[in-house]
């Protein structure tokens, strides 16, 4: 038995290859599946199983691509009622892979159909060696049960039940192979560590310490982090079976004038994936800013309207490629063009540009005194804001600006603040689309503001 | 806390990055350390600690390079008496890395100075989360204690003691982070799986089931796999501190005639890293064959005499690069030239070549009947040979041919047999150096012979 | 005006970008057109014209791909009667590209429809600055007129006429931009230099010195080099418009057993693109050998039957890619699979292999004395053979073995000889397909044999 | 004979390989010589000669590196009195390379020691086939003779003499292989085309039409383009023999705070190679801006003080690499560090930043009416400015701002204008170093301004 773990940052997504001597399974694959094909080839393994713990809310998975490219069989939870070819599994089912036995248990909670796979390596013994627990149990956290409108209470109770009546009955030494780590929005306080054991989590996992279900339910359903818009859409896509990546369009280069024309189409949106500083310097009026260096996929899923033709602005061909991959991972499949020559070419074509200025921590600190009317708008998450903020800052999370922008005065100067500088530029782009014009970005964000010594320690 | 595991195939070597929020330690680094620098950079981590469990016999480590490139401090076992700058550690010492505590325990056995590091993540709790146990405890196996001449009994007893009195006293849920997996010669029966837990190994690890030390000692010291020649040398090199990689020579291209002249120097040897089939087709007389696709580093450490100037024959520039990296990992630092244009250029220069023919499984099977005088020489390890072999095969392990070639008749036709075809070509090159001339290789080896249906199932 | 020349070795093919400030033309493009798109992008040029001098016999061109990818207009000779969308041009027509004027002249000879384009840079003056003369005039040679069966005399006379009455009337300083250089079979004695001038060629170009047409015709039509089989096919393909590269299959990896099954299909052939030494060591029985290091495209066009499904054996993924590109350049569009794991995997699957031994120059020289019955078969071109050969060598050009193999005795030992060793292996593969079994290759070929000092100087 | 031309953009530098069958010469090599080594290897050529036409003012050459790496002999003009090992040549000398003869002629003018090499391919005939004329004769122009203070008249006369009495006596068909093309400052009106012939230039080369030396001298010495600062330094470096590239420092990553400290050293300067838009958004106060997309090497040679330790700000590791290569090509050898994490990391460290805003063409056009006090400062070359400019623009060339900044009012708002937007940002960085604070950049420059329709056609 061999276990390989593949981690994507930003989505903080772990997938796995579980291999015997000549065949292997891929558990919860990412959508761009070359990495599994390469690993299997280098180890002389045939991919025969594609195994899904659930129908993922936060990303579009690669099960269809893998099955098509390898001929592998897809295993998916019975309750998911998937419409693609697959073997449906549920409590009590077993999958055999050479010497290994995968015992299916239903573990609803994060999603209603969620199952986990307990692995027994029969070549070594009959006790479980590990469990693919998907989004049920994380290192230091559990899967959030609040993503299905109106069902949070029900799902939280189911989660509590399957955690304590199923997973916690596994032996201490049993390894856990979760789907996410710190950075994912499928939980609220995951650790950075990517794997753990039943025994260690039994002792120290905070939600697991809440044995009383009546305390557990509010703890897991109230004051939860906001859920991005695509969390609903991705589940539907995964259940239906996503389009094969090889059938998707790849963006073609487009001259500035053609790009401008294309941007006028009602289905089109302009997405600028350059750094926040480049966007601030000059951008196409109306464009969305999502810096590739921030949590690009999550914000792309969150703030970009679905089913649009995306016109991309990026700095290099590599960045185009990277942006397209991330967009597909959250279900934005139609990136049809990129701006040939980038913004310098746009400017040389004499086309209109917009600007958002930067302010350094030092200069903002001075402005707090000299400019009493300037609004400081903090767009971080609630938990970040609560850990410390500039005294007079107004707080509206970035994605909420789409509905709460009316709370702000368009005529005032607004300094946008986030952790590092790039989420604030997303916010700026949303506000500019809504007619705000006097916006400045705190470059370096609260990280820089703190590093400069301007935050009092509480 | 974040843990990253880095695995090198062939040497089957695992090293680790253990990271906090901004700093990290590298445990038992490989000699080519870019992979750690890249990982640290992408995670915005500073490498501050380089930690050694012991002074590795099977590879030359990258502790000096990492320390020089990052300014990190090296931690090494006190009993190792290392001559480079370091902090020496032993039983009871503790290393603090942000929220993490590494508790040192002495775990002699595989080597006399071996220590292990128990990790406590104090941000989560006081119980141990895992242990860097180096070559003491593996998945399914323990470190072999027979590598120090005359000390096998003593070391086996110490190993037994530290396994049961120290490691087995850790809780079931504690993870183990070993240095090797299947393929390494530092044990004899490791699993492919690269990590495990104390509890699982307690149940199923075969040597751990031998509680009586008087049974344990012979089980771990008798009938052990052969140990490659470089196992002695590497420990000395690691203790002294290996030369920095950036100071080592990189091979220059050399024309066929210059290569021929250089090969006549008494310090020079010719190493042919091409596939076994290419070597068989034509090679420089006197060259060593070690196919890059076989366990190149182990055989390079084993059969190439130390401290020689290596003249390399390879198929591509990438292969030159790969060969140099592997050679350095086992302490062959002086690859001074490669043959410009490869063997085709050598042949076009009208220089002498040698040949070793290939025979397919089907043809060998026929020859067994038609050529009763032909010797079938199986050069695999004893354990492989014992699992099944051609009835009339003579068995001498490849590296032993250096001393046991006298048991063979130079005038007879010999068919060389290994698992896949490339170790047999190593053997052929060793025999040709000793005057054998009628050699044929079973291409595809016993794998092909079995696949063709010629092995009776026992 | 800017002129860029792009050269492909082996086919010895030159294509050109002729650019103004913002637009450019590509003249006689190769089939894989990324190189032009990249060059145009880096110079901020739009490709607006694709210009053909004639409908190339020796390669399949990229005019359709370029036009589809850029929207450029194709210009092709009127007499070619091309069936794709294009502007047809002939004597007296002019094409304007910014400041540049391309004056069309009919220059039949190499092919009946051939035109040349005289370039005038009107920003500098009215005299011609250069001429795209295709396969009419080369550096040191002229285009061969003998490729159309039964029309050699007619075309040679037309060639003589257009050379002297058109091209030689251009001024001395006028540059010539030919389509080929040394190595191409579209002439018989081209220089390595890739461009020249009218004046220099007027003085020193050998065929141009033959002013009497009655001497010119036999000189250009008798004792010409053999023409590869694909020379007929490519013209037809280019006239019809080749399939777009993006619509062609790309080979999928295939396991040894599946590859064996696929090879049994009547449309399938196995092509081994590995080095001659690897092919000799072991190959799939019935495979064609064409070493990527030899003139792979020309021999692929020559000896591989058209319209087959090609099953490829190569050493690396890069080699697969390179082979596919070359195959497409000569119209072999259906490379459907490659052998996953290469020949080592085939051998490990226990499948049958064939061998062809190598002999070094030194050993062959000895055999000439000790083995009087051994046949030495020289497969080089007639002109190479005539420049010097082993005394008792039989001469049959490699491609002619397909029809002349009956002249050889299958029961005799045959040593195959070419210049470097790889064409002889093509010959070996052809002979093995026809039942020859006692074949040996002179590795290093006559180059090595000469370098070893065994050729008397004449 | 084979001729390969290698072109570097920005410096607009052509170097050449002139090859026979097995050996070759490199003429006027660039400093980074891998490209020649690779070309020679792929053609199986040995580099035996390194040939210099003169001791180049505008770039540091690779003669020392090539000689050291290949053992080739350097040939350099006798009058250059070079201090490295070489064969010195002058009028009447001949160099033999296989069948080729290189006849040396003295061609002073651009520099006093300049020679040219007339090539005769004796395998074809005795007339010259081409001439390596360095910076004497270009396509459409001649080498500028005004670079040596006080010697312009003398050198212009010598140039006139050698052009008419030597080069123009070559036959029409003789090819010319010049060192530069459009974009170089070694002439004032070169064509983009990279090669030509004697006859064509005789007819259309503008300076060659000025037969009267008394008209020629002022035409070539008055109103010449400005010469960058490094033009003097490079000649000295080339004469002495530049340091070997492999001995030069390569920049190490440096954290923001360490970078800040290092920047305070009196030998240190900060060079920002990012796009003009990124520099404008935020930059380290005091940094030089030179956008990699502009003529980076020329401006680096021009405005950066020599012999400084360069601290580099770039966007990617590839950009660091590219910047270092360009800097070395103009003799800036000490790039000792780059900012790890780039400007986003600097901002997150809470360090001070500076800003220069962008204005679009449309907005500037409106400002011309609404802001009568705003200064429009055009920093293009005189010839560009004279071709058309905004009516009220003040003109000072970018490099001259170092001395002429006093002509501007620090308290006024200044909009900086160049062709595309990046030279204006160089200017902004120079002005900010001198205390200007109210600067805005016309993004897209005059190109965008014209494209937007705001320039009246004259």
Entry pTM: 0.93
**Residue B221 to chain C, least CA–CA distance (Å):** 34
Q: Say how many CA atoms lie within 13 Å of D172 toward its Cβ.
A: 18
On the question of pLDDT at A407 being above 80, the answer is: yes
Contact C448 B347 (CB under 8 A): yes
B350 in C contact zone (CB under 8 Å):
yes
Exposure pattern of B171-186 as b/e (b: 16+ CB <10 Å)? bbbbbbbbbbbbbbbb
**Contact by Cβ (8 Å): A249, A335:** yes
The predicted complex's ipTM stands at 0.94
**Contact by Cβ (8 Å): C156, C221:** yes
**Minimal Cβ distance to A172: which of B125, B171, B194:** B171
CA Rg, chain B, in Å? Answer: 24
Supply the mean pLDDT for chain B. Answer: 96
C428 in B contact zone (CB under 8 Å):
no
**Residue A309 to chain B, least CA–CA distance (Å):** 32
Nearest to C57 by CA among C84, C27, C88, C80: C80
**The pLDDT value given to residue B232:** 84
Mutate to test the interface with A, among C21, C40, C44 (most CBs of A within 10 A): C44
Exposure pattern of C53-76 as b/e (b: 16+ CB <10 Å)? bbbbbbbbbbbbbbbebbebebbb
Token representation of residue B337: 């030239």
Secondary structure of residue D110 in the 3-state scheme: coil
The strand ranges marked E within B149-237 are: 175-178, 196-197
User: What distance in Å separates the CA atoms of residue C63 and residue C33, rounded to the nearest whole number?
Assistant: 9
Which residue reads 């000398």 in tokens? Answer: D93
Q: Which residues of D touch C121 (CB under 8 A)?
A: 193
Q: D248-348: same fold as D2-232?
A: no
C361 in B contact zone (CB under 8 Å):
yes
Contact D340 B41 (CB under 8 A): yes
Which chains pack against D, by 3+ Cβ pairs within 8 A? A, B, C
User: What distance in Å separates the CA atoms of residue D268 and residue D262, rounded to the nearest whole number?
Assistant: 7
On the question of pLDDT at D355 being above 70, the answer is: yes
**Segment (H or E) for B128:** strand B128-134
Model confidence pLDDT, tens digit, residues D375-393 = 999 999 999 999 999 999 9
For the beta sheet containing C23-27, the strands, ordered from the edge strand earlier in sequence to the opposite edge, are C2-8, C13-19, C23-27, C46-51, C73-77, C87-89
**Minimal Cβ distance to C173: which of D140, D173, D192:** D173
Residues 6+ apart with CB under 8 A from D151: D112
Task: Search chain D and give the residue with CA nearest C195.
Answer: D3
**Contact by Cβ (8 Å): C450, C444:** no
Mutate to test the interface with D, among C200, C201, C206, C208 (most CBs of D within 10 A): C200
Cα torsion angle, B203, B207, B208, B212, sign: positive
On the question of pLDDT at D458 being above 60, the answer is: no
Q: Which residues of A touch D422 (CB under 8 A)?
A: 344
**Segment (H or E) for B353:** none
**The pLDDT value given to residue A457:** 54
For the beta sheet containing A268-272, the strands, ordered from the edge strand earlier in sequence to the opposite edge, are A252-254, A335-339, A309-313, A268-272, A288-289
As a whole number, mean pLDDT of residues D116-135 equals 98
User: What distance in Å separates the CA atoms of residue B396 and residue B399, rounded to the nearest whole number?
Assistant: 8
As a whole number, mean pLDDT of residues D269-279 equals 97
Nearest to D294 by CA among C40, A291, A348: A348
DSSP A133: E
User: What distance in Å separates the CA atoms of residue D426 and residue D432, rounded to the nearest whole number?
Assistant: 10
Contact B172 A173 (CB under 8 A): yes
B165 in A contact zone (CB under 8 Å):
no
D253 in B contact zone (CB under 8 Å):
yes
As a whole number, mean pLDDT of residues D103-115 equals 97
Token representation of residue D267: 């030998």
Neighbours of A46 (CB within 10 A): 14
Residues 6+ apart with CB under 8 A from C57: C111, C147, C186, C227, C231, C232, C234, C235
As a whole number, mean pLDDT of residues A239-250 equals 94
Q: Pick C357-451's CATH classification: 3.40.250.10, 1.20.1250.20, 1.10.3720.10, 3.10.580.10.
A: 3.40.250.10
On the question of pLDDT at C457 being above 70, the answer is: no
**The pLDDT value given to residue B52:** 98
Contact B448 C350 (CB under 8 A): yes
Residues 6+ apart with CB under 8 A from A187: A135, A138, A141, A142, A143, A144, A180
Secondary structure of residue A71 in the 3-state scheme: coil
Q: Which residues of D touch C195 (CB under 8 A)?
A: 175, 195
Secondary structure of residue B58 in the 3-state scheme: coil
**The pLDDT value given to residue A456:** 72
When pLDDT is cut at 50, 70 and 90, the band that residue B384 belongs to is very high
Neighbours of B287 (CB within 10 A): 25
User: What distance in Å separates the CA atoms of residue A69 and residue A246, rounded to the nearest whole number?
Assistant: 10
Contact D360 A282 (CB under 8 A): yes
Model confidence pLDDT, tens digit, residues A189-244 = 899 999 999 999 999 999 999 999 999 999 999 999 989 999 989 999 999 999 99
As a whole number, mean pLDDT of residues B322-334 equals 97
In chain C, what are the domain boundaries? 2-232, 248-348, 357-451
Neighbours of D151 (CB within 10 A): 14
**Contact by Cβ (8 Å): A436, A414:** yes
Token representation of residue D407: 């002509």
User: What distance in Å separates the CA atoms of residue B118 and residue B167, rounded to the nearest whole number?
Assistant: 9
Neighbours of D278 (CB within 10 A): 26
Nearest to A177 by CA among A145, A143, A135, A121: A135
Mutate to test the interface with C, among A22, A37, A41 (most CBs of C within 10 A): A41
**The pLDDT value given to residue D457:** 54
Neighbours of A18 (CB within 10 A): 26
As a whole number, mean pLDDT of residues A97-119 equals 98
**The pLDDT value given to residue C232:** 84
Secondary structure of residue A436 in the 3-state scheme: coil
**Contact by Cβ (8 Å): B19, B45:** yes
The strand ranges marked E within B198-265 are: 252-254
User: What distance in Å separates the CA atoms of residue B314 and residue B324, rounded to the nearest whole number?
Assistant: 11
Residue-level length of chain C: 458
CATH homologous superfamily for the domain D2-232: Ribonuclease Z/Hydroxyacylglutathione hydrolase-like (3.60.15.10)
When pLDDT is cut at 50, 70 and 90, the band that residue A301 belongs to is very high
B349 in A contact zone (CB under 8 Å):
no
Nearest to A282 by CA among A432, A415, A167: A432
Which residue reads 């192979």 in tokens? Answer: A177
Q: Which residues of C touch D200 (CB under 8 A)?
A: 127, 129, 173-175
Token representation of residue A5: 């773990």
Token representation of residue D388: 């058309």
The strand ranges marked E within C216-259 are: 252-254
Contact B360 C353 (CB under 8 A): yes
Q: Pick D248-348's CATH classification: 3.40.50.300, 1.10.10.10, 3.40.50.10790, 3.40.250.10.
A: 3.40.250.10
The strand ranges marked E within C221-345 are: 252-254, 268-272, 288-289, 309-313, 335-339
A41 in C contact zone (CB under 8 Å):
yes
Model confidence pLDDT, tens digit, residues C193-219 = 999 999 999 999 999 999 999 999 999
User: What distance in Å separates the CA atoms of residue A136 and residue A133, rounded to the nearest whole number?
Assistant: 6
Helix axes A422-433, A296-303, angle to 10 degrees: 20
Which residue reads 């093309």 in tokens? Answer: D181
**% of chain B residues with pLDDT over 70:** 100
Task: Search chain D and give the residue with CA nearest B252.
Answer: D69
Nearest to C419 by CA among C297, C327, C295: C295
D175 in C contact zone (CB under 8 Å):
yes
**Contact by Cβ (8 Å): C451, B350:** yes
**Minimal Cβ distance to B350: which of C281, C351, C361:** C361
**Residue C19 to chain A, least CA–CA distance (Å):** 19
Provide the terminal-to-terminal Cα distance of chain C, rounded to the nearest Å: 50
**Contact by Cβ (8 Å): D67, D36:** no
**Contact by Cβ (8 Å): A197, A24:** no
For the beta sheet containing C375-378, the strands, ordered from the edge strand earlier in sequence to the opposite edge, are C357-359, C439-442, C414-417, C375-378, C394-395
Model confidence pLDDT, tens digit, residues C109-165 = 999 999 999 999 999 999 999 999 999 999 999 999 999 989 999 999 999 999 999
Residues 6+ apart with CB under 8 A from D237: D60, D331
Token representation of residue D129: 């086939």
User: What distance in Å separates the CA atoms of residue D24 and residue D72, rounded to the nearest whole number?
Assistant: 10
Neighbours of D192 (CB within 10 A): 17
C340 in A contact zone (CB under 8 Å):
yes
When pLDDT is cut at 50, 70 and 90, the band that residue D202 belongs to is very high
When pLDDT is cut at 50, 70 and 90, the band that residue B289 belongs to is very high
Residue-level length of chain D: 458
**The pLDDT value given to residue B457:** 54
Residues 6+ apart with CB under 8 A from D40: D17, D24, D46, D47
**The pLDDT value given to residue D232:** 84
On the question of pLDDT at D325 being above 60, the answer is: yes
On the question of pLDDT at D278 being above 90, the answer is: yes
D340 in B contact zone (CB under 8 Å):
yes
For the beta sheet containing B115-121, the strands, ordered from the edge strand earlier in sequence to the opposite edge, are B94-97, B100-106, B115-121, B128-134, B175-178, B196-197
**% of chain C residues with pLDDT over 90:** 97
């Amino acid at each position: 038995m061999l276990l390989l773990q593949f981690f994507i940052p930003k989505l903080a997504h772990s997938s796995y290859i579980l291999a015997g001597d000549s065949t292997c399974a891929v558990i919860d694959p990412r959508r761009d599946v070359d990495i599994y094909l390469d690993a299997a080839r280098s180890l002389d393994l045939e991919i025969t199983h594609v195994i899904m713990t659930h129908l993922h809310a936060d990303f579009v998975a690669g099960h269809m691509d893998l099955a098509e490219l390898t001929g592998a069989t897809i295993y998916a939870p019975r309750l998911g009622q998937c419409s693609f070819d697959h073997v449906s599994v549920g409590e009590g089912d077993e999958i055999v892979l050479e010497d290994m036995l995968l015992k299916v248990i239903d573990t609803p909670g994060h999603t209603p159909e969620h199952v986990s796979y307990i692995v027994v390596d029969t070549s070594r013994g009959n006790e479980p060696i590990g469990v693919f627990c998907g989004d049920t149990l994380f290192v230091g956290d559990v899967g959030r049960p609040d993503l299905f409108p109106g069902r949070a209470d029900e799902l939280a109770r189911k989660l509590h039940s399957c955690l304590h009546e199923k997973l916690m009955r596994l032996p201490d030494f049993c390894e856990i192979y979760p789907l996410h780590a710190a950075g994912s929005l499928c939980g609220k306080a995951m650790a950075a560590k990517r794997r753990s054991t039943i025994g260690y989590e039994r002792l120290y996992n905070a939600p697991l310490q809440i044995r009383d279900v009546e305390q557990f339910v509010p703890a897991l359903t109230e004051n939860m982090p906001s859920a991005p818009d695509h969390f609903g859409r991705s589940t539907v896509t995964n259940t239906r079976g996503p389009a094969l990546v090889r059938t998707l369009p790849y963006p073609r280069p487009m001259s500035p004038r053609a790009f401008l024309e294309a941007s006028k189409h009602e289905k089109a949106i302009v997405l600028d994936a350059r750094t926040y500083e480049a966007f601030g310097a000059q951008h196409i009026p109306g464009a969305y800013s999502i810096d590739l260096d921030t949590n690009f996929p999550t914000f792309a899923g969150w703030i970009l309207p679905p089913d649009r033709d995306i016109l991309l602005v990026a700095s290099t061909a590599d960045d185009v490629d990277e942006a397209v991959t991330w967009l597909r991972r959250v279900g934005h499949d139609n990136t049809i063009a990129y701006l040939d020559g980038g913004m310098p070419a746009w400017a040389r074509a004499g086309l209109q540009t917009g600007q958002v200025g930067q302010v350094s921590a030092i200069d903002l600190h001075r402005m707090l005194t000299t400019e009493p009317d300037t609004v400081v708008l903090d767009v971080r998450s609630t938990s970040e804001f609560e850990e410390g903020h500039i005294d007079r800052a107004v707080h509206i999370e970035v994605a909420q600006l789409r509905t709460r922008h009316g709370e702000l005065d368009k005529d005032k100067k607004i300094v946008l603040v986030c952790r590092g500088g790039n989420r604030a530029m997303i916010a700026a782009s949303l506000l500019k689309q809504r007619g705000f014009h006097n916006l400045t970005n705190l470059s370096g964000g609260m990280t820089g503001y703190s590093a400069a010594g301007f935050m009092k320690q509480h």
